[in-house]
Amino acid sequence: MQLWRSHGLGNDYLVVESADSLSPGLVRSLCDRHRGVGGDGVLEPVAGAGGAEFGVRIHNPDGSEAEKSGNGLRIYAHWLVHQRGAPAAFRVWTAGGVASCAVVGDEVVVDMGAARSWGPEELVGNQAWRVDVGNPHAVVFGWTDDWRQRGAAVEGSVPGRTNVQFVEVRDGKAHARVWERGAGETLSSGSSACAVATVCVRRGLLDSPVTVVMAGGSLRIEVGATLKMSGPVESVGRVELSPAWLAARVT
């Protein structure tokens, strides 16, 4: 099995370049940062659908699947162009809908489609604005030292679980801490940035485009009829798994 490793502002994914099978158990082993390669998720290339030239399945590090991932899409698009010779602009099918992507060097722009938002509503003691951008989000304003515990509680408080963002607006920007469904604390998240920007604009707190600042860096989100996200991707390199390691984990 060969993998390509990249990160978007510290949110790292493994693209499967060749594999016979990819089970939830194998995904968990691959994402293990001590006994495996390590990653915030695994991207599995699949055939395009719904008019898209390419497709991808997005696996969380706990073995579950995500409908859509902003940083995952940016990393996958970057890999398609720089490692597979894809054109600079194309569409990618995900379980959460088709996304248009454009790659210029190491900068990737993804149109995440339209956002649906509602709220606020009470989620385990937190006032949350709910956003759907092809995957679910709960945006909470303000954070405290126990934000990780609160994030885990909010994640599991709705059917199917949700991604959670804790936000402070200052200096004309949205500062966010990210708790991802199936991954926990992450340095950045593209779809989370889209959710945060959506709520900030619709509440009148910020104007589009919104700069969302996370621990790993900043993403620029244009909020309109659709959400356009732009930011950098850095390639780390190719990983070839030991046959013995793989054989011990494939059943």
Residues 6+ apart with CB under 8 A from 6: 12, 13, 15, 75, 78, 79, 233, 234, 235, 236
- Computed on alpha carbons and rounded to an integer, the radius of gyration of the chain in Å comes to 17
Residue ranges matching CATH 3.10.310.10 in the chain = 2-112+233-247, 116-225
CATH number for the domain whose boundaries are 116-225 = 3.10.310.10
Instruction: State the Cα–Cα distance between residues 95 and 81, nearest whole angstrom.
Output: 21
Using alpha carbons, select from 57, 75, 60 the residue that is nearest to residue 7: 75
pLDDT per residue, tens digit, the chain (251 aa), is 899 999 999 999 999 998 777 899 999 999 999 999 999 999 999 999 999 999 999 999 999 999 999 999 999 999 999 999 999 999 999 999 999 999 999 999 999 999 999 999 999 999 999 999 999 999 999 999 999 999 999 999 999 999 999 999 999 999 999 999 989 999 999 999 999 999 999 999 999 999 999 999 999 999 999 999 999 999 999 999 999 999 998 86
User: Does this model's pTM top 0.85?
Assistant: yes
- Per DSSP bridges, beta strands 217-223 and 210-214 are antiparallel
- Does domain 2-112+233-247 fall into CATH 3.10.310.10? yes
Instruction: State the Cα–Cα distance between residues 221 and 216, nearest whole angstrom.
Output: 16
* CB count in 10 Å sphere of residue 76: 29
